[in-house]
Structure 1
Amino acid sequence: MTYKELQLALAVFGLEERASLRQIKSRHRELVKRHHPDLGAPAENEEMRRVNAAYRVLLDYLSDYRFSFAEDEFYEQNPDERLRRQYFEDPLWGGGG
């Protein structure tokens, strides 16, 4: 897979540079419902092929992705925890400091 193929897959799904697995799966379901002939859509075989090919590219990328469990990355993914850590101990904000 190339970076260009990954970007095309994101474009087919209409996703930004950051997306969760949940968002990818949800978007796949939406696109399948929209384009699948068994679900009332006009026969759009080529569009279904594009959607499914893009889904395979995204899942392949995610299966080989190395997740970071570094503290900085954790707080990037969980901004509420970053705020809690930042202000929890501060007496000005009601912390137990």
Structure 2
Amino acid sequence: MTYKELQLALAVFGLEERASLREIKNRHRELVKRHHPDLGAPADSDEMRKVNAAYRVLLDYLADYRFSFAEEEFYEQNPDEQLRRQFFDDPLWGGKG
């Protein structure tokens, strides 16, 4: 897979640079409902092939992706926890200080 193929798959799905697996699966479901021949789309739908190919590219990318479990990455992904960590003990914010 090339970066260009990954970008094309994101474009087919209409996704930005960051997306969760849940968002990818939900978007796939929406596109299948829109382009599937059994649901009213033309029988020889090239769009359905594009959607399925893009989905395979995205899933292949995610299967090989290495997730970071570093503390900094955790707080970047969970801003509420960052705020809790930053202000939890502050008496001004209700902490015991």
Q: List aligned pairs for 1:34-53, cutoff 5 A.
A: 34-53=34-53
Shift of 1:44: 5.0
Shift of 1:90: 0.7
What per-residue deviation string (whole Å, max 9, x for no partner) do you get for residues 10-35 of structure 1? 00000000000000000000000000
* 1:44–1:83 CA distance, 2 compared to 1 (3 A): farther
Aligned residues between the structures: 97
Instruction: Name the counterpart of 2:21.
Output: 21
Q: 5+ residue gaps in structure 1?
A: none
Measured on the aligned residues, the alpha-carbon RMSD in Å equals: 0.9
* 1:88–1:44 CA distance, 2 compared to 1 (3 A): farther
1:36–1:44 contact (8 Å) kept in structure 2: no
Alpha-carbon distance between aligned partners in 2 of 1:80 and 1:3, rounded to the nearest angstrom: 32
Instruction: Name the counterpart of 2:94.
Output: 94
